[in-house]
Amino acid sequence: MAFWDKIKGLITPKKEEDDKPDLIKLGDELSSADLDFKFAKLFTHSGGIFNYCGDETEALQTLHKIIKAEDIKSFFCWDNELKSFLDVVNASYTDVLTQKNDAAFITCECLIAYDGKIMLSSNNILNYNSAHLPQKIIVIANVSQIVSNLNEAMAIVKRRRGPLKNLTSISGSQSKLDDPNAVDNKLFLLLLED
C-alpha cells in the first residue's frame, strides 16, 4: 500500500506552497532587521504601497503622480499643513468626510514595524471610523515615527499627547485583519526623512 502511495505522490501534483510567507513568519524572519526595513517589508507585504521621499519636493512629486495614476478628484483632508501640499498640486479637498471624497490625505501617530501597520487617532482622522474612510488613503509620515511594536507606540502617544480618542491601525489591502470584507482599498505611504 505504501508503494502505491509513493507512486500516487509522484504523479499527483502537490499543493503549491504559498509564495508569500504569512505576516507572522515574515516578521519572525525580519526580527533582527532595521526597523525601517522591517516596516517597509511588512507594510508592502500586506498590500500597502510604500514611497520613500528624501524631502518635501519629492513627496509633492510622488503625491502628484498618485493623484494622476489613481484619478483622484477630491480628498478628505483637515490638516492645515497637508492642505498646503494639496494646494501646491492643485487638488480639491474638503475639511469633512463626504461621499464625493475618493481619497483621504492624512498624517499618522506611528508606523509599527512589528506588523507593518499604521496607527491613527482622532488627531489624524477626527471622529471618523477608519472603515468609513475612502478606499484610497495617502498617509504622510516621517522616518522617526517608526516604532518596533504596539507597546512602544502606545507609550509614545501617551507621553506626547496624553490619552487619545479613536485609536486604530490600518494596513494594506491584502490584510483582511482590518476589514475582512474590504475590496480594492489602496493604502499609500509617503515616508519622509526627518
Question: Any idea what the CATH number is for the domain that residue 55 is in?
Answer: 3.40.50.10420
Instruction: Check pLDDT > 70 for residue 6.
Output: no
Greater confidence (92 vs 15) lies with 92
> Residue 175 and residue 167: Cα distance in Å, rounded?
19
Residue 7 lies in a domain: no
| Mean pLDDT across the chain | 85
- Per-position b or e across 172-190, b if 16+ CB within 10 A of its CB: bbebeebeeeeeebbbbbb
> Residue 125 and residue 107: Cα distance in Å, rounded?
8
Tell me the mean pLDDT in the region 8-24. Answer: 55
Instruction: Check pLDDT > 80 for residue 90.
Output: yes
Q: Provide the pLDDT for residue 19.
A: 46
Residue 5 lies in a domain: no
Domain count, the chain: 1
Q: Provide the pLDDT for residue 87.
A: 97
> Residue 188 and residue 50: Cα distance in Å, rounded?
6
Q: Provide the pLDDT for residue 176.
A: 47
Instruction: Check pLDDT > 50 for residue 177.
Output: no
Residue 8 lies in a domain: no
Task: Return the minimum-mean-pLDDT range out of 38-42, 98-102, 161-165.
Answer: 161-165
Q: What pLDDT band is residue 160 in, cutting at 50, 70 and 90?
A: confident
Closest to 144 measured CA to CA, from 100, 175, 110: 110
Q: Provide the pLDDT for residue 162.
A: 65
pTM: 0.83
Instruction: Check pLDDT > 60 for residue 181.
Output: no
Q: Provide the pLDDT for residue 50.
A: 96
**Displacement of CA 68 from its chain's centroid (Å):** 20
Residue 3 lies in a domain: no
Residue 11 lies in a domain: no
Instruction: Check pLDDT > 90 for residue 145.
Output: yes
> Residue 177 and residue 22: Cα distance in Å, rounded?
13
- Can you give the residue range of the structural domain that contains 57? 22-171+184-192
Residue 178 lies in a domain: no
